[in-house]
Structure formats: structure tokens, C-alpha cells
Amino acid sequence: MSSLKAPKVILPGATIGMVGGGQLGRMFSMAAASMGYEVVVFCESSDEPAAQVAHRSVIGKLGDASAVDTFARQCDVITLEFENIPAETIARCGQYAPTYPSASVLATAQDRLREKTTFRDAGLPVTPMAAVNDLDTLRAASESLGWPMIVKTARSGYDGKGQVRVESIADAERVPWKDCDAWIAERCIEFDLEVSVVVARTVEGKQVAFPAFENSHRNHILDVTVTPASIPEGVADEAVRIAFAASEVIDVVGLLCVEFFVRGDQVMINEVAPRPHNSGHLSIEACVTSQFEQHVRAICNLPLGSTALRSGAAAMANLLGDLWAEDGTPPKWERVFHDPSISLHLYGKRSAKRGRKMGHLTATGTSVDSVRRAVLESRDRLQQP
């Protein structure tokens, strides 16, 4: 009989720590509370979305060791809602409670070049790329990648920030090389569509995946997600297989969202996020187990829930700050409730800014076309005179 102890199961009644006070932390906190857990949030303001709904909050900067200690000593397990957290903060949290994802997972997810190289070296399909840091290295990269290329900061970019499409070496003058000391150049992929697969993985390595989500973007920000994705079953199965392999390669505990480019029957990894993901928000209404409940189950080493769809199809549309009037007047929310198929989620953010994610709409129904139309028409009504 093995002398190794089984990983601890953390049961309801325990306290979960959440590093980060945004909307992902908010929806996680609500799911955890419904399961009987207490949640303490570590964030910079008591008015952040997660702090509004959590049992307790600890206010401080990520680099404030005293505040981190005050937070972490209250927790039975700790997780987070964004990747760009100093390794020292995660290491300090880990002195008090199991912390997922680990510092090594974050180190990979925080660096696009390390992320892509790790998966490529493991034999997983990734978009062709090369490390660059100036015009000379970009010119050398063009010999294998060709033109055009997308040049991205190796760290910290999201929602299209920190990246430039470069058509030629002359066009590369637009890249703000001095803003960052590490860049990655990626071949521009002519793809049919983009899908994401959200995987949950426990401490013991048990995994389940949500159905593939099909994503549409506007100005580099996720606009609409639908499921089932319009890809053959075999392609969806391959995406899930690769997502499972990716989570094993970097040893994720919790959730991992893997974003794919799909071209014909080929899928390749674009990027990953070791946390709940915007494209998975529709799982709250669409699936037997939401991505947020699944996150709780995974980090607490509980049996993972069913990811089956409750109905034939679902769609989600993001609500950005662009919907608010310039004087801050909110959209006409009463119009949402006229359609009984629509669910409204608002994140509690006090000020609306262009491009800022303020909430989302979800619809469930019998077909992808009908639910996509429902969320888009409902969102359009919010701004009609």
C-alpha cells in the first residue's frame, strides 16, 4: 500500500482566497458562496466587483507583504483571476495555503514566448513564431514566418493591447521597441474561425472539458461567443485532446482556457489563460456546471461536474462601456427583460469606459442562429431611442 497521502479535499465551510477583485473574481465568489464556501478577496479597493459580493476583502497592493500575509492566513486554498501577479506574491501565499495555479504555471502563462515554446516542444500545434527585439531580428524572422506578421510584447498584453500588425520591414518602424525588452513575432494565420476550450483539472490530474466555444471579436475584444461551435465533431475532439495535453504539460490545477485558430480540419494554439475565461461566461446558464463552479471543484479537489449543455445552443454577447452615454447614463436595462430567453449579468463597475467590459447577456435555445440573434437584438435594443 502506498505511503503517499491523498491530496486533501477542501469541503464546504472552508475559506477560499481569491487574488483579484474583477468580474471573474466576482462570479467565482458567487459560485463558491452558493456551494457553502466563504470567500476572502485580495484587491486594491473595497468597491471592486468581487469585493462587493465576497464575505470579506483584504485591501492592499500585490507587492505589500503584510497585506498578503493578512489575506493568506485566512485561507484554506487560494486561487486567482488574472495571470500578471508577481511570483513573490504567489510564493508568499503558498506559505499559508495551497495556491492554484502555481508560480510555475504563471511564469509560463505570463510570457508568450515561453508559453508557445513550451507547447511546441511538447509536440502541440502552435502558431509559427520567433523571438524578436529589433528590426534586425524581425527581418531574420521574416525569412521563416513571411509577411505580414503580428508583433506582440512577450508579457502583459491582452485584448489586443501590446501588439502590432506589420506588413513589411518598412512598416516595422511602427513597433514601439523601446516599450518592452522582449517581443514575439507570429505568422499571420488565415483561419476559418476561432474557438476556445475550457478545461478543468484537479490536484489528482482528473480532467473534464466544456464544449468548444466559437468566438467573434471586435477591435481585438471578444464580442460574441456561441456553442456548439460550427466545426466538425472530429475537429472539436482534437481541440479537446490538445487542451487536455496543454493542461498536463504545464501542470495546471483549476481552469485552463485554450484559444485555437481553426483552418479546415487543423487546429493550432493561439494562447492560453489559466483561469476562468470570458468565452466561458455562457456556461452559467448553458451548462449543468458553470466554469466558476468547476473552478471551485477543481481547486478544492472535489469530483468535477458535468459540462453537458442544458439546451441545444447558447450565446453570449459582451456589454462594453461603449453602450453608456458620454454623461454616464446607463443603457435602457428594462428592455432586456422583455425577452424571457435573455439573462443579464452586470459586474458592478462604477464607471464605464470605451472597451471596458461592464457585463454580458446570455441566451439559451434550440439553435445557434436563434440564440446569437437573440443576444445581438437584445443588445441593440439597449441603445435604441
Query: Minimal CA–CA distance to 286: which of 345, 334, 335, 237?
Result: 345
Q: How far is CA 207 from CA 60, 219, 335, 341, in A?
A: 34, 33, 40, 31
Whether residues 219 and 281 fall in one domain: yes
pLDDT of res. 156: 67
Helix (H, G, I), strand (E, B) or coil at 127: coil
Whether residues 264 and 162 fall in one domain: no
* Cross-strand partners of 78: 17, 99
Could you give the CA distance from residue 110 to residue 213 in angstroms, rounded to a whole number? 23
Whether residues 137 and 33 fall in one domain: no
Q: State the CATH number of the domain containing residue 174.
A: 3.30.1490.20
Whether residues 165 and 31 fall in one domain: no
Among all chains, which residue has been given the C-alpha cell 477560499?
16
Whether residues 43 and 152 fall in one domain: no
Q: How far is CA 313 from CA 145, 237, 308, 375, in A?
A: 38, 18, 11, 12
Could you give the CA distance from residue 72 to residue 40 in angstroms, rounded to a whole number? 9
Whether residues 231 and 175 fall in one domain: no
Look at residue 107 and tell me if it is in a domain: no
What lies within 8 Å, CB to CB, of 178 at 6+ separation is none
Q: Which of 187, 221, 236 is the last residue of a domain?
A: 187
Is the separation of the CB atoms in 223 and 191 below 8 Å? no
Provide the sign of the torsion angle of the four alpha carbons 50, 51, 57, 62, taken in this order: positive
Whether residues 58 and 159 fall in one domain: no
Q: What is the pLDDT along the chain (385 residues), one digit of tens a residue?
A: 333 455 789 999 999 999 999 999 999 999 999 999 999 999 999 999 999 999 999 999 999 999 999 999 999 999 999 988 988 899 999 999 999 999 999 999 999 999 999 999 999 999 999 999 999 999 999 999 999 999 998 886 555 567 889 999 888 888 888 888 889 999 998 899 999 999 999 999 999 999 999 999 999 899 999 999 999 999 999 999 999 999 999 999 999 999 999 999 999 999 999 999 999 999 999 999 999 999 999 999 999 999 999 999 999 999 999 999 988 899 999 999 989 999 999 999 999 999 999 999 999 999 999 999 999 999 999 988 7
Query: Minimal CA–CA distance to 209: which of 277, 139, 107, 126?
Result: 277
Is the separation of the CB atoms in 329 and 294 below 8 Å? no
Total domains in the fold of the chain: 3
Residue 173 DSSP code = G
Print the domain residue range for 324: 193-381
Whether residues 235 and 310 fall in one domain: yes
CA 216, distance to chain mean position in Å, is: 15
Could you give the CA distance from residue 65 to residue 96 in angstroms, rounded to a whole number? 13
What lies within 8 Å, CB to CB, of 73 at 6+ separation is 96
CA atoms within 13 A on the CB side of 161: 9
> What does the block give as the cell for 205?
490530474
* Cross-strand partners of 316: 225, 362
Q: Which of 99, 119, 140 is the last residue of a domain?
A: 99
